[in-house]
């Protein structure tokens, strides 16, 4: 008896199931119809967003919260181009996302056909890899490879572009073969010689500082990092992406470093004699002026991506490997050390230069973040949009566990937070999820509130509403002589808008209203949007002016 033939679309769905995919975020359209038809019979939950960008960000948020790859699906042309910001975002923050796009049938390729876009070409610089499927017989193998590439080594987005005639053509299904990619061998263990060199430098250091980035979260190395820091009695600062990789309430925690980092983190980095970078990439928002970054320090750089070594700053001892494995390699050879004088100096800085804001006058953004922290016991999953509210969240919500802070770091994409929160809530249905938003950012993907309502996802949105594109206004105040060009916003009534979508809307204008509104939101089984009217011209401080030295902060 002949084996049953499957269509390309059915093979795609079967291959996704084989990869353990249980959720897809997507939006149908012409050339994706065969795929959607196959999904109709599948055991995969499909979340219909209201915009493809929302689908890409939701898949990204899902991946960051769960550690599993996120999958998004769109049609050809505009469906595919609407994914682009989401794919770029996942690329910059090394998030495993597999994006599947419908494509016009092969006979129409390259003819400017209706809804044709060269999405493989467009996304080439923002994907880890991409596939244009040219034969249905290779599809199962492509899907297997795509997930392997997206999730291993330094993770990243992989695109699969699938012409609709291939989705429709039938073939006898064959299991994919073992993956053989001679050009792709991500490193795992580090060169033992480099580990010994690093251990030697650590043993000889008097003022070490650990600088932890998103790689610690991705690698699942937070426990190793804690042991490493405690063994060395070395203070730990984290990047934005590294928040939660080290408990923010630990005595050795310095909080975030860089442009809006704590003064004590930036002073510690400036005066340390050994900087141990762990899964971080010396972004310009971290280093400020690279020439004056950690000027007295030897730098050890632990990272899985050899291309990061020496990219932005000089590195003395590169250790290329998976962060978790390298930390274990180091833990096996290191002796405990005590650095009383350095510890005292850090404690002095912490006491002298704490994060502060004025709690008088109008409602302050910082106190809202603190209240969210207090009411959730630091246990919520927090997403953000991009801007002032994002930095206040990074500064004032004390993140204590990995994958609890989910934010667009590298790309800085406004509109990320709400769809990401949807992805997070889908992946973590029992947990409290907050999107801390600005009144500008929230409007970039506000349509996704409808998605949250449709799927009964009880996300909470806290809008820090100052009637400005706040970060733009802050830079105009500081660097453009208060010329507020195009940064003031006239907004809709967010409460009515929330209600129109079928969510709950609350407006808070006074300090006393903050906690009750947040409590109501956490209790509610519906999505809730809270419009916090705050002090209009509050600034994010301290601040290292762009391109400046970390030791020279404003505020």
Partner 1 sequence: MTHTLSVLVHNTPGVLARIAGLFSRRGFNIDSLAVGRTHDPTVSRMTIVVEGDDQILEQVTKQLHKLIDVIKISDITKDVYVDRELVMIKVHAEAAARAEIMQLVDIFRARIVDVGRKSLTIEVTGNEGKINAFEDCLRPFGIKELVRTGKIAMLRGLRSSSVDKENSHKEEDVD
- Considering beta carbons, is residue 87 or 309 the nearer one to partner 1? 309
CB of 352 to partner 1, least distance (A): 39
- Considering beta carbons, is residue 152 or 551 the nearer one to partner 1? 152
- CA distances for 172 relative to 7, 67, 165, angstroms: 9, 33, 16
- Considering beta carbons, is residue 161 or 271 the nearer one to partner 1? 161
CB of 466 to partner 1, least distance (A): 37
CB of 128 to partner 1, least distance (A): 8
Token pair 């430098």 is found at: 201
Q: Assess contact for 80 and 159: CB atoms under 8 A.
A: no
**What does DSSP assign to residue 220?**
T
- Considering beta carbons, is residue 181 or 500 the nearer one to partner 1? 181
d(CA 121, CA 100): 15
Q: Assess contact for 136 and 5: CB atoms under 8 A.
A: no
Sequence-separated (6 or more) residues with CB below 8 Å from residue 152: 186
Token pair 């509050």 is found at: 538
- Considering beta carbons, is residue 149 or 422 the nearer one to partner 1? 149
CA angle 111, 116, 121 (to 5 degrees): 95
Which of 98, 165, 161, 102 is closest to 132 using CA atoms?
A: 161
d(CA 38, CA 450): 25
Token pair 């044709």 is found at: 116
- Considering beta carbons, is residue 20 or 182 the nearer one to partner 1? 182
Cα 212 from chain centroid (whole Å): 15
The HSE-up count of residue 504 (CA atoms within 13 Å, CB side) is: 19
Q: Distance between the two ends of the chain, CA-based, in angstroms?
A: 78
- Considering beta carbons, is residue 51 or 132 the nearer one to partner 1? 132
CB of 175 to partner 1, least distance (A): 22
State the residues that interact with partner 1 by CB under 8 A.
Answer: 120-121, 124-125, 128-130, 132, 134, 149, 181-185, 305-307, 309-311
- Considering beta carbons, is residue 121 or 546 the nearer one to partner 1? 121
CB of 350 to partner 1, least distance (A): 37
CB of 309 to partner 1, least distance (A): 8
- Considering beta carbons, is residue 63 or 150 the nearer one to partner 1? 150
Q: Assess contact for 449 and 402: CB atoms under 8 A.
A: no
Token pair 């699969």 is found at: 160
d(CA 84, CA 55): 11
CB of 185 to partner 1, least distance (A): 5
5 strand-pairing partners: 172
CB of 133 to partner 1, least distance (A): 12
CB of 144 to partner 1, least distance (A): 14
């Amino acid at each position: 008896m002949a084996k049953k033939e499957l269509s390309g679309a059915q093979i795609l769905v079967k291959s996704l199931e084989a990869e353990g995919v249980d959720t897809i975020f997507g939006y149908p359209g012409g050339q994706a119809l065969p795929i959607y038809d196959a999904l109709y019979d599948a055991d995969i939950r499909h979340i219909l967003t209201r915009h493809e960008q929302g689908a890409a960000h939701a898949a990204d948020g899902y991946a960051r919260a769960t550690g599993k790859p996120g999958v998004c699906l769109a049609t050809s042309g505009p469906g595919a181009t609407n994914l682009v910001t989401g794919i770029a975002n996942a690329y910059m923050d090394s998030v495993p996302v597999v994006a599947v796009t419908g494509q016009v049938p092969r006979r129409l390729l390259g003819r400017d056909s209706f809804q044709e876009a060269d999405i493989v070409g467009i996304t080439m610089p923002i994907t880890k890899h991409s596939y244009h499927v040219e034969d249905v017989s290779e599809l199962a193998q492509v899907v297997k490879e795509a997930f392997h590439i997206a999730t291993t080594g330094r993770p990243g987005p992989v695109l699969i572009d699938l012409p609709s005639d291939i989705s429709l053509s039938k073939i006898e299904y064959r299991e994919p073969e073992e993956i053989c990619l001679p050009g792709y061998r991500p490193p795992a263990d580090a060169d033992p010689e480099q580990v010994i060199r690093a251990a030697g430098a650590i043993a000889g250091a008097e003022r070490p500082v650990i600088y932890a980035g998103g790689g610690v979260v991705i690698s699942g190395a937070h426990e190793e990092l804690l042991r490493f820091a405690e063994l060395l009695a070395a203070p730990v600062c984290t990047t934005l992406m590294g928040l939660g990789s080290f408990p923010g309430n630990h005595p050795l925690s310095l909080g975030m470093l860089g442009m809006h980092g704590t003064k004590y983190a930036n002073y510690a980095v400036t005066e340390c004699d050994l900087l141990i970078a762990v899964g971080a990439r010396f972004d310009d928002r971290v280093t400020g002026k690279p020439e004056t970054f950690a000027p007295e320090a030897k730098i050890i750089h632990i990272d899985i991506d050899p291309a990061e070594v020496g990219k932005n700053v000089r590195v003395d001892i590169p250790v290329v490997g998976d962060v978790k494995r390298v930390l274990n390699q180091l833990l096996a050879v290191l002796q405990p050390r005590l650095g009383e004088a350095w510890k005292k100096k850090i404690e002095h800085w912490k006491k002298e230069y704490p994060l502060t804001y004025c709690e008088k006058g109008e409602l302050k953004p910082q106190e809202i973040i603190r209240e969210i922290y207090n009411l959730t016991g630091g246990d919520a999953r927090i997403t953000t949009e991009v801007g002032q509210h994002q930095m206040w969240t990074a500064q004032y919500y004390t993140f204590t566990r990995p994958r609890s802070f989910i934010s667009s770091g590298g790309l800085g994409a406004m509109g990320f937070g709400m769809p990401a929160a949807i992805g997070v809530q889908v992946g973590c249905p029992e947990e409290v999820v907050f999107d801390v938003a600005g009144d500008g950012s929230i409007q970039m993907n506000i349509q996704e509130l409808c998605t949250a309502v449709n799927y009964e996802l009880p996300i909470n949105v806290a809008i820090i509403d100052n009637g400005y594109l706040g970060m733009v206004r802050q830079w105009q105040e500081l660097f453009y002589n208060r010329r507020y060009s195009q940064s003031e916003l006239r907004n809709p009534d967010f409460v009515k808008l929330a209600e129109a979508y079928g969510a709950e809307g609350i407006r808070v204008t006074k300090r006393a209203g903050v906690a009750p509104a947040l409590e109501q939101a956490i209790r509610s089984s519906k999505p809730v949007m809270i419009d916090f009217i705050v002090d209009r011209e509050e600034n994010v401080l301290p601040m290292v002016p762009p391109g400046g030295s970390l030791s020279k902060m404003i505020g």
